[in-house]
Structure 1
Amino acid sequence: MADMIVPDPVTRDVLAIFEEVRYQLFGRLEGLTDAEYHWEPVGDCIGIRPGDDGLFRVATLFPESSPDAPDPVTTIAWRIWHIGNLCLRGYVIYLFDDVPDYGDRDVWPGTAKEGIQALAEDWEHFISRIAALGDKRLLAPIGMGPGGWADETYLKLALHALKEVTHHGGEIGLLRDLHLREGV
């Protein structure tokens, strides 16, 4: 996407910001080991685990929060899954017309390398659809989708995706830093 010429200024700027965030996130993921990917820093950590069939699936789709208890802690694998599958892939599935065949959406790679590759593919699918919209469509209501998204713009969707990526990407960076210092 970095070498794409986009004449529409809003679309161009949104894509440029996504490219900067992609560079930072994937830079932080370089060298990620399977041990880090699945590391559970606390006992009640939420991650992705193999089922009886040997396929990895997310243990909890939406961790519950409570005003009386801290938010649950999730693994790097869960956060990569959340960004890739739940957010970017989910937005493509529910808010765009041309949806690739993703197969079983509940299954997610059990290795760091494959998880990062799946995230990269989900990223490209989402970004290519945002790029194809152009400013006029980017600023118009989506017209379809669950949870009130039909009345929102694709720009708001893109900004929401950016918020999710930066939020969980920052947490991934912190978890990597903590894992590196575990036992020090």
Structure 2
Amino acid sequence: MADMIVPDPVTRDILAIFEEVRYQLFGRLEGPTDAEYHWEPVGDCIGIRPGDDGLFRVATLFPESSPDAPDPVTTIAWRIWHIGNLCLRGYVIYLFDDVPDYGDRDVWPGTAKEGIQALAEDWEHFISRIAALGDKRLLAPIGMGPGGWADETYLKLALHALKEATHHGGEIGLLRDLYLREGV
């Protein structure tokens, strides 16, 4: 996407910010081991685990939190799944017309390398759809989708995706730092 010429200024600017976030996120995702990908720094950590069929699935879709307890801690694998599958892939599925065949959406790669590759593919699917909209469509109501999204703009959707990627991407970076220093 970095070499794409986009004449519409809003679309161009949002894609430029996505590219900066992608560069930072994937820079932090260089070289994790499978052990790091699944590392559970606390006992009640939420991750992705193999089922009886050997396929990996997220253990808890939306971790519950309460005012009396801290938010749950999730693994790097869960956070990569959250950005890629739940957010970017989910947005493509529910808010765009041309949806790729994702197969069983509940299944997520059990290895770090494959999980990062799946995130990269989900990122590209989402970004290519945002890029194709152009400013007029980016700023108009979506017109479809669950939970009130029909009345929102694709720009708001893109900004929400950026919020999720930066929020969870920062947490991935912190988890990587902590993992590398565990026991030091």
TM-score (structure 1 length as normaliser): 1.00
Gaps of 5+ in 2: none
Give the equivalent residue in structure 2 for 1:83.
83
Using the TM superposition, give the Cα deviation of residue 32 of structure 1 relative to its aligned residue in structure 2, in angstroms.
Answer: 1.1
Give CA deviations for 1:144-163 in whole Å, capped at 9, x if unaligned.
00010000000000000000
Gaps of 5+ in 1: none
**Local SS of the residue matching 1:68:** coil
Name the % identity: 98
Cα distance between partner residues in 2 of 1:48 and 1:135: 38
Using the TM superposition, give the Cα deviation of residue 44 of structure 1 relative to its aligned residue in structure 2, in angstroms.
Answer: 0.4
Cα distance between partner residues in 2 of 1:176 and 1:55: 24
Cα distance between partner residues in 1 of 2:84 and 2:29: 14
Give CA deviations for 1:125-169 in whole Å, capped at 9, x if unaligned.
000000000000000000000010000000000000000000000
**Local SS of the residue matching 2:63:** coil
Give CA deviations for 1:65-87 in whole Å, capped at 9, x if unaligned.
00011100000000000000000
Give CA deviations for 1:21-78 in whole Å, capped at 9, x if unaligned.
0000000000111111000000000000000000000000000000011100000000
Using the TM superposition, give the Cα deviation of residue 172 of structure 1 relative to its aligned residue in structure 2, in angstroms.
Answer: 0.0
**Local SS of the residue matching 1:49:** strand
Cα distance between partner residues in 1 of 2:32 and 2:149: 35
Cα distance between partner residues in 2 of 1:6 and 1:29: 28
**Local SS of the residue matching 1:91:** helix
Whether 1:138 aligns to 2:132 is no
Whether 1:27 aligns to 2:60 is no
Equivalent residues in 2 for 1:54-69 (5 A)? 54-69=54-69
Cα distance between partner residues in 2 of 1:63 and 1:93: 22
Q: How many residue pairs are counted as aligned between the two chains? A: 184
Q: State the superposition RMSD in angstroms.
A: 0.3
Equivalent residues in 2 for 1:166-181 (5 A)? 166-181=166-181
Cα distance between partner residues in 1 of 2:134 and 2:116: 28
Cα distance between partner residues in 2 of 1:28 and 1:152: 32
Cα distance between partner residues in 1 of 2:80 and 2:54: 20
Using the TM superposition, give the Cα deviation of residue 12 of structure 1 relative to its aligned residue in structure 2, in angstroms.
Answer: 0.2
Cα distance between partner residues in 1 of 2:68 and 2:79: 23
TM-score (structure 2 length as normaliser): 1.00
Cα distance between partner residues in 1 of 2:33 and 2:140: 42
Cα distance between partner residues in 1 of 2:44 and 2:161: 27
Deviating beyond 3 angstroms after TM superposition, the runs of 4 or more aligned structure 1 residues are: none
